[in-house]
Amino acid sequence: MMFEGFSKKLETVLQRFRSRGGLGSEEVDLALKEIRLALLEADVHFKVVKSFIESVRIRAVGAEVSESLTPGQQVIKIVWEELSNLMGQKGAIPLPVRETPEIVMLVGLQGAGKTTTVGKLGAFYKKQGKRVLLVAADLKRAAAVDQLQSLGKKIDVSVLIPLPNEHPVALVKRAVHFAKEKAYDKLLIDTAGRLQIDDAMMEELVEMKTSASPHEIWLVADAMTGQVAVNLADLFHKKLSLTGAILTKTEGDARGGAVLSIRSVTQVPIQFIGTGEQIEALEPFYPDRIASRILGMGDVLSLIELTEQNYSKEHAQQLQKKVRSNQFTLEDFRDQMKQMKKMGGLEKILEMIPGIKKVKPDMEQLGKEMKGIEAILSSMTAQERQDPGIINASRRKRIAKGSGTTIQEINRLTKQFYEAKKMLKRFSGGKKFGFGNGLE
* pLDDT for res 352: 59
Q: How would residue 17 be classed by pLDDT, with cut points 50, 70 and 90?
A: low
* pLDDT for res 138: 93
Average pLDDT across the chain, whole number: 81
The CATH 1.10.260.30 portion of the chain extends over 304-433
* pLDDT for res 389: 86
Mean pLDDT of 294-312: 62
| Residue 283 scores a pLDDT above 50 | yes
| Residue 423 scores a pLDDT above 70 | no
| Residue 424 scores a pLDDT above 50 | yes
Q: Is the pTM of this model over 0.75?
A: no
* pLDDT for res 103: 96
Angle at 117 between CA 115 and CA 118, to 5 degrees: 65
* pLDDT for res 52: 92
The better pLDDT of the pair 169, 29 is held by 169
* pLDDT for res 222: 92
The CATH 3.40.50.300 portion of the chain extends over 102-299
| Residue 439 scores a pLDDT above 90 | no
Contact 219, 165 (CB under 8 A): no
Buried b (16+ CB within 10 A) or exposed e, 352-391: beeeebeeeeeeeeeeeeeebbebbbebbeeebbeebeeb
Closest by CA to 346, choosing from 330, 363, 358, 359, is: 363
* pLDDT for res 428: 52
Each residue's pLDDT tens digit, 138-158: 998 879 999 999 999 999 999
Closest by CA to 280, choosing from 367, 113, 150, 155, is: 155
Q: Pick 102-299's CATH classification: 3.20.20.140, 3.40.50.300, 3.30.2000.10, 3.90.600.10.
A: 3.40.50.300
CA pseudo-torsion sign 364, 367, 371, 377: positive
CATH class, 4-87 region: mainly alpha
Mean pLDDT of 171-178: 96
Instruction: Tell me the C-alpha distance between 70 and 245, whole Å.
Output: 37
**Amino acid at site 187:** L
| DSSP assignment string, 18-87 | TT-S---HHHHHHHHHHHHHHHHHTT--HHHHHHHHHHHHHHHTTPPPPTT--HHHHHHHHHHHHHHHHH
The CATH 1.20.120.140 portion of the chain extends over 4-87
| Residue 379 scores a pLDDT above 60 | yes
Write phi, then psi, for 249 (nearest 5 degrees): 60, 30
**Which of 54-63, 107-116, 240-249, 338-347 shows the lowest per-residue confidence on average (mean pLDDT)?**
338-347
Each residue's pLDDT tens digit, 81-139: 888 888 986 655 566 666 789 999 999 998 899 999 999 999 999 999 999 999 999 99
Topology classification of domain 304-433: 434 Repressor (Amino-terminal Domain) (1.10.260)
Mean pLDDT of 328-346: 73
| DSSP assignment string, 116-179 | HHHHHHHHHHHHTT--EEEEEE--SSTTHHHHHHHHHHHHT-EEE-PPTT--HHHHHHHHHHHH
